Amino acid sequence: MSVRLEGSVIRLEGECRAEDAEPLLSLLQEEAGRVVDLTSAVRLHTAVIQVLLALRPPLAGPAGDPFLARWLAPLLAATPPG
Amino acid sequence: MSDLLEQFLIEGRELAQQATEDLLALEHDPADEARLAGAFRAVHTLKGSVAVFGFQPMERTLHAAEDLLDAIRAGHLAVGREVINPLLDCIGTSEAWIEAIAHTGRLPDDAPACGRRLEEALQVPLGVDAASSPTRPAAPDPAWLPDLAMAEAPAIAKAQAAGRRVTALRYVPVPDCFFLGDDPMALIRSVPELIALRLRQREPWPEGMIDPFTCNLVIELLSTAEEEAVRQVFRFVSDQVDTTTLTTPSPVLPVPPEEPARGDPVGTTGRSLRVDTVRIDALLDLVGELIVAKNGLGHLIAQMGEAEPRLARALGESQAEIGALAEAMHRTVLGVRMTPLARTFRRLPRLVREAASGLGKAAALDIRGEAVEADKAIVDGLFDPLLHLLRNALDHGIEAPAARTEAGKPVTGRITLEARSEGGGVAVEVTDDGRGIDPARIRRAAKERRLMPEAAIDALDDAAAIQLIFQPGFSTASAVTALSGRGVGMDAVRTAVEGLGGKVSLASRPGAGSTVRLLLPQGASVTTVLLVRMGTEVFGVPMEAIAETARIPAAGILPLRQGEAFVLRDRTVPLVRLPALLDRPAGPRGDIAQVLVIGAGAERIGVEVDGFAGRTDVLLRPLAGLLSGMPGLLGTALLGDGQVLMVLDLPELIG
């Protein structure tokens, strides 16, 4: 299980694959304000990143994966243009 | 050869084919934007993969072709022969270069010069245009670059201050890429020396309607690695990426042409697996081994039968089941080799168009039945003979426009290439509506070339006389043309078709046209052989080689000079004995001689064997190792009982 809900925190754990995008999307849409915790995520599939980019939920970190922390987390945290 | 290069060769051929088809369709219907986009994409992708391997003349030529297509897309140029011709030349040469790379690993020596000529020809239409529009830079910077360069100016400035060149890349994954198993971000992770990354939605999602299975992203990045090295990461999605090397520190760049269209359905390949035929053949060999192993089990079961009858029976049932499965597997693997004829047919229209314009004739090629399937070896082997037949039809069949008008025919000649499944085989016919073949002319030419005694030529009826054009050394072209008069005649077609296990025949009506008909087996790998006995040994002879079998009373065999002969339907046929052909001592002859007759007409010859042992389908394996190069032997085959059968080439043995 790579997407897990704990209280109001959604934890992404280990390797998140394309099929994890849908449960993540449902959890985020179910209740506004849920935080996504990237601490133990290793690799996020593009489909998962796309959901985060579209909804821009608050993120809890720091991300455990260096690529995620260096390149993706800043992009996902930034305010959407426009 | 590296896997990567192999992949390039496969894809390169497909892309060149795709570009050719799109260009031909575009010439037909200049308003077809999907075809224009398809041609552009194919050329663009091909150029991208060529760049990865550094085949520079080819890359430059394709780049020029891409520029020309781009100008058409932008509406600066209209589609016409003057643009289609250099584009087709470029693609045709690229195809030849791909084959050269396949054989030698590099481009031919004349590639730089040849590429420059093509490049110039591709620039002619653009040059005319350049007079009326602002000059275009050789390689315009893409439209997306200024934005990216502006946003990432600090990273670029830092890299350039450190003396590094910066590569920019834009990657727009196709919307269904997740289904195709792509993970674009995994590719981004592999980009060397990443210095900036931008990620945004390609289109805004409709309110509350996010589809997690559709990729809706545009990814842009900068790297200090070389452009080639960055492209290398994206080699399997090279049609979805656009790259450039930043040249000036200034992010202010000229307004470039529109970005390529993406994701349109023309030419998208099916979701299939590419497998090298060598692997399929290896699989086929394994199935053969499996059958042998199963047969070995049979012997053990027989030995065990007396001691343990019940166990032996149960094992026998198992063995039969394994046998049935092995056979099913054998059929399935052979089926995998089946390929639609389209693979060969599709390469022909461009070549026919070229040939027609070279001869100053107008001809339309109509292709039917390209979905008919045959073994890959046959489909590939048909290319040369078909090309020859089509060129022949254009050169000798279709009349010059003036002559056609005089004969009351439409100016445009019609050539039909049609394939049909026919009785377990494949029939391929090339029909033209040209002048047809005059039997009297054929007879005259045959006599001049002394192909047969004059009396024999006169004895042939018209239908038989025109088949003489398949004889070696026959050519009736009164003027040798550049096209089909290069010393290879229809006998080359016959030899090629017979090599595939097929037959060729010709029908013609003077004034109305001709039809050449090829009848081919569907599966090349399976050969039906007649098993013949010689003493205690059994040999195979391909059924295709045998005209008939006959039982001749020993009393009917007559001495003829040094040899023997017999009379078959009032014609004397020479007789040889199989042991003599194989340099073995012959046994005594019984009351009745078993004879198989090979060849046709005056070439008929009888081969006496000790007996026939039925016929069987075998998988003919070419000779390898010690046996290779052994004359008179076609190959070996495994029989159902695991024995190795030698398959004889009787025509060669007789010599």
Q: Which residue has the higher pLDDT, B254 or B356?
A: B356
Kindly indicate the confidence band of residue B265, based on its pLDDT and cuts at 50, 70 and 90.
very low
Q: How many CA atoms lie within 13 A of B375 on its CB side?
A: 23
Which ipTM did the prediction report?
0.92
Q: Are B356 and B504 in a shared domain?
A: yes
Instruction: Tell me whether B201 touches chain A (CB under 8 Å).
Output: yes
Instruction: In whole angstroms, give the CA distance from residue B143 to residue B258.
Output: 7
Q: How many domains does chain B have?
A: 5
Q: Does residue B138 sit within a domain? A: no
Instruction: Tell me whether A50 touches chain B (CB under 8 Å).
Output: yes
Picking from B232, B159, B142, B152, the residue whose alpha carbon sits closest to that of residue B191 is B232
Domain end, chosen from B295, B314, B337, is at B337
Once rounded to an integer, what is the mean pLDDT over residues B242-264? 50
Q: Are B506 and B538 in a shared domain?
A: no
Instruction: In whole angstroms, give the CA distance from residue B446 to residue B459.
Output: 13
Please tell me the predicted confidence (pLDDT) of residue B269: 43
Which of B155-164, B187-196, B239-248 has the highest mean predicted lDDT (pLDDT)?
A: B187-196
Q: Is the pLDDT of residue B258 over 70?
A: no
Kindly indicate the confidence band of residue B43, based on its pLDDT and cuts at 50, 70 and 90.
very high
Instruction: In whole angstroms, give the CA distance from residue B493 to residue B343.
Output: 19
Instruction: Tell me whether A41 touches chain B (CB under 8 Å).
Output: no
Contacts of B199 in chain A (CB under 8 A): 49, 53, 72, 75
Once rounded to an integer, what is the mean pLDDT over residues B125-153? 64
Instruction: Tell me whether B218 touches chain A (CB under 8 Å).
Output: no
Q: Is the pLDDT of residue B482 over 50?
A: no
Q: Are B452 and B508 in a shared domain?
A: yes
Average pLDDT over chain B reads: 82
Q: Does residue B258 sit within a domain? A: no
Q: What is the CATH number of the domain that holds B189?
A: 3.30.70
Q: Which residue has the higher pLDDT, B7 or A24?
A: A24
Per DSSP, B257 falls in state P
Domain end, chosen from B190, B225, B246, is at B246
Q: Per-residue pLDDT tens for B411-451? A: 899 999 999 988 778 999 999 999 998 888 888 888 888 88
Q: Does residue B468 sit within a domain? A: yes
- Nearest by CB to A71, from B186, B197, B215: name it: B197
**Least confident residue range of B27-36, B60-69, B187-196, B616-625:** B616-625
Residue B401 φ/ψ, nearest 5 degrees: -50, -45
Contacts of A55 in chain B (CB under 8 A): 210
Q: Is the pLDDT of residue A53 over 80?
A: yes
Q: Are B450 and B478 in a shared domain?
A: yes
Which of A20, A44, A45, A46 would you mutate first to test chain B, the one with the most B CBs within 10 A? A46
Picking from B180, B122, B125, B171, the residue whose alpha carbon sits closest to that of residue B148 is B171
Instruction: In whole angstroms, give the CA distance from residue B244 to residue B145.
Output: 9
Kindly indicate the confidence band of residue A68, based on its pLDDT and cuts at 50, 70 and 90.
confident
C-alpha B341 chain-centroid distance: 8
Instruction: In whole angstroms, give the CA distance from residue B294 to residue B326.
Output: 9
Q: What is the CATH number of the domain that holds B9?
A: 1.20.120.160
Q: Are B484 and B601 in a shared domain?
A: no
Alpha helices in B54-183 (DSSP H): 56-73, 81-104, 111-130, 145-151, 153-161
Kindly indicate the confidence band of residue B257, based on its pLDDT and cuts at 50, 70 and 90.
very low
Q: Are B569 and B622 in a shared domain?
A: yes
Picking from B95, B96, B76, B92, the residue whose alpha carbon sits closest to that of residue B36 is B76
Burial class (CB in 10 A: 0-12, 13-18, 19+), B419: buried
Q: Is the pLDDT of residue B452 over 50?
A: yes
Q: Does residue B104 sit within a domain? A: yes
Instruction: Tell me whether A71 touches chain B (CB under 8 Å).
Output: yes
Instruction: Tell me whether A56 touches chain B (CB under 8 Å).
Output: no
Q: Are B465 and B537 in a shared domain?
A: no
Contacts of B194 in chain A (CB under 8 A): 71
Question: Looking at B510-561, which runs of residues are DSSP E strands?
Answer: 513-521, 526-534, 537-542, 546-553, 558-560
Kindly indicate the confidence band of residue B144, based on its pLDDT and cuts at 50, 70 and 90.
confident
Please tell me the predicted confidence (pLDDT) of residue B627: 62
Do B629 and B578 meet the contact criterion of CB atoms below 8 Å apart?
no
- In order of their start, the domains of chain A are 3-77 (3.30.750.24)
Q: Are B433 and B496 in a shared domain?
A: yes
Do B62 and B1 meet the contact criterion of CB atoms below 8 Å apart?
no
Picking from B596, B585, B592, the residue whose alpha carbon sits closest to that of residue B654 is B596
Q: Are B120 and B157 in a shared domain?
A: no
The tokens for B63 are 């780049």
Once rounded to an integer, what is the mean pLDDT over residues B511-527? 81
> Is-cis flag, bond preceding B631, omega within 30?
no
User: Distance (Å) from the C-alpha of residue B214 to the closest C-alpha of chain A?
Assistant: 8
**Least confident residue range of B4-18, B285-299, B543-557, B613-627:** B613-627
Do B170 and B218 meet the contact criterion of CB atoms below 8 Å apart?
yes
SS3 B135: coil
Please tell me the predicted confidence (pLDDT) of residue B621: 66
Contacts of A71 in chain B (CB under 8 A): 188, 194, 197
Q: Is the pLDDT of residue B221 over 90?
A: yes
Q: Does residue B392 sit within a domain? A: yes
Q: Is the pLDDT of residue B216 over 80?
A: yes
Calculate what percentage of chain B has a pLDDT beyond 90.
Answer: 20
Picking from B99, B93, B58, B104, the residue whose alpha carbon sits closest to that of residue B380 is B99
The answer to whether the Cβ–Cβ distance between A47 and B198 falls below 8 Å is: no
Q: Are B395 and B369 in a shared domain?
A: yes
Q: End-to-end alpha-carbon separation of chain A, Å? A: 35
Q: Are B513 and B585 in a shared domain?
A: no
Kindly indicate the confidence band of residue B261, based on its pLDDT and cuts at 50, 70 and 90.
very low
Instruction: In whole angstroms, give the CA distance from residue B385 to residue B381.
Output: 8
Burial per residue of A15-26, b for 16 or more beta-carbon CB atoms within 10 angstroms, e otherwise: ebebebbbbbbe
Q: Are B73 and B179 in a shared domain?
A: no
Q: Measure the CA dihedral B647/B650/B653/B655, to 10°.
A: -150
Q: Is the pLDDT of residue B69 over 70?
A: yes
Kindly indicate the confidence band of residue B307, based on its pLDDT and cuts at 50, 70 and 90.
confident
Once rounded to an integer, what is the mean pLDDT over residues B534-542? 88
Instruction: In whole angstroms, give the CA distance from residue B309 to residue B303.
Output: 10
The answer to whether the Cβ–Cβ distance between A45 and B183 falls below 8 Å is: yes
The answer to whether the Cβ–Cβ distance between A55 and B210 falls below 8 Å is: yes
Please tell me the predicted confidence (pLDDT) of residue B271: 55
Q: Which domain holds residue B329?
A: 277-337
